[in-house]
Chain A
Amino acid sequence: MAILVIAEHNNGALGAATLNTVAAAQKIGGDVVVLVAGQNVGSVAEAAAKIAGVSKVLVADNAAYAHQLPENVAPLIAELGKGYSHVLAAATTNGKNFLPRVAALLDVDQISEIIEVVSADTFKRPIYAGNAIATVQSSAAVKVITVRGTGFDAVAAEGGSAAVEAVSGPADAGKSAFVGEELAKSDRPELTAAKIVVSGGRGMGNGDNFKILYALADKLGAAVGASRAAVDAGFVPNDMQVGQTGKIVAPQLYIAVGISGAIQHLAGMKDSKVIVAINKDEEAPIFQVADYGLVADLFEAVPELEKAV
């Protein structure tokens, strides 16, 4: 049994989510082969070869795969995937974009966002915004799966010495083209990988007020997130959204400031180790999941907290 893991990368650096996906592959058991599909991905392939527990790295270097357009990479992955028992990708926007297309090309169902491996064919995944956990069993010849990063501890990025092998696949399908991208710039840790996350909601009032959260986050070395209400109100960009439809995080410490705690938000953070809620409404649902709750005006409590840590 061999497992194909599709590497998450931006053509320059290997994405951290790859390490969690390899961890899931190791739980399934078998040879772990990593596919790096992109353009000028030499450094990514090198990094992938060093991941502990990886037996081989396949590199598909082609301009058609530069932005991982699903019309181009899905046929490549489907073709390679036929030789494996499992094909895994991280449940990032990238993995979610191309992997169902791979599954359909292979004529198998996909299992989305697993959080636990029960056995080689049985997995656990959250449904209904995390309000239920389904155990699902697959009889597919090739099991196509996306992995929720927060469900698996990352494997070591160093220590392996896998062989790197070039592979080729179909050329540009000519159906789609990359036009451009606008990436939000941030010096803080990445939201999904941060040990501490400080999040603000509608209670922040406006975008300017987020600066008190940034100050606290910088003191703690934390990432800053937001609820959908804060994003919809235009306080912060949408890639900061934590929740069912945004990012799923599970840090050591999650500090929810001015967030009521709607089920869609809880779906994105309730696996955090310690949850702190700061809210002036003592009836807010967030207090039902918070380990430590402070009923207070956030505009007084947050600056005070920043000074105290």
Chain B
Amino acid sequence: MKVLVAVKRVVDYNVKVRVKADNSGVDLANVKMSMNPFCEIAVEEAVRLKEKGVATEIVAVSVGPTAAQEQLRTALALGADRAILVESNDELNSLAVAKALKAIVDKEQPQLVILGKQAIDSDNNQTGQMLAALSGYAQGTFASKVEVAGDKVNVTREIDGGLQTVALNLPAIVTTDLRLNEPRYASLPNIMKAKKKPLDVVTPDALGVSTASTVKTVKVEAPAARSAGVKVKSVAELVEKLKNEAKVI
């Protein structure tokens, strides 16, 4: 079966971002960008399904700026067969991204679509669920185990109290949680080979997708800083401070 994987270009997870002085957003100039960690897990899962003989073709798709081609090349180096970039240099909200992905799903007709559970920049945790709603497919969010069995996929999900397993009819949408797998690294020969794999670029307009949004960002601020703490010398001093100064125990 065909598997579609969505990947997002985001600021690298190790970077401590700074808010711009004019409060219009965070400063992303000259900051290292990478594939969103949850998307790496999604690509890895698709590649493992192919290695098991379940998936026959993996299509990586990204909705984002021209530079997101780098992340698609990474997905190709990791094992995706071809890639599609829906190019938009505007900052898109989850619903617009889900609509663009829906157009690609309509065209490609994959049996399984794998996304990360959330992007570490916007922290929204929405796109997979929205795509499921728009396409009318079942959704298996926060997956820690995915097993395709015939015309169904069993997804074990990480929920607040533990784990839950659901059986979904295919085609279905799965979003990855951290413990689904450990993504591999791209080898140098595979990075070279990935340069020759097909990468198509389309625009939301060409797909007939509106990227208008009902939500706008008014302001971005730095969070309130915590006042500097003190180092205590002993457990006795710590207990004394917690009891008498902070009064929390």
Contact = CB atoms under 8 A, between A and B. Distances in A.
Interface of A: 67, 69-71, 74, 92-94, 96-105, 107-113, 122, 126-140, 174-184, 192, 196, 220, 228, 231-232, 237-239, 244-245, 247, 252-253, 263-264, 270, 273-276, 282, 287, 289-296, 301, 304-305, 308-309
Interface stretch (B45-53, B55-63, B137-145): B137-145
B29 interface: no
Contacts of A102: 133
Interface of B: 11, 13, 16-17, 19, 26, 93-95, 98, 117-118, 120-134, 137-139, 141-142, 144, 154, 157-169, 177-179, 213-223, 226, 229-236, 238-239, 241-242, 246, 248-249
Nearest to A293: B231
B214 to A, nearest CB: 4
A290 B169 contact: no
25 contacts: A74-B133, A97-B129, A98-B129, A103-B95, A104-B95, A108-B95, A109-B213, A110-B124, A110-B126, A112-B126, A128-B120, A129-B123, A132-B220, A133-B220, A134-B220, A138-B215, A178-B166, A179-B154, A239-B159, A244-B120, A244-B123, A245-B118, A274-B248, A282-B231, A294-B234
B218 A136 contact: yes
Contact of A137 (B158, B169, B218): B218
Contact of A134 (B127, B165, B217): B217
A308 B166 contact: no
Contact of B214 (A135, A138, A183, A192): A138
Most buried by B among A140, A292, A293: A292
Contacts of A301: 235
B238 A292 contact: yes
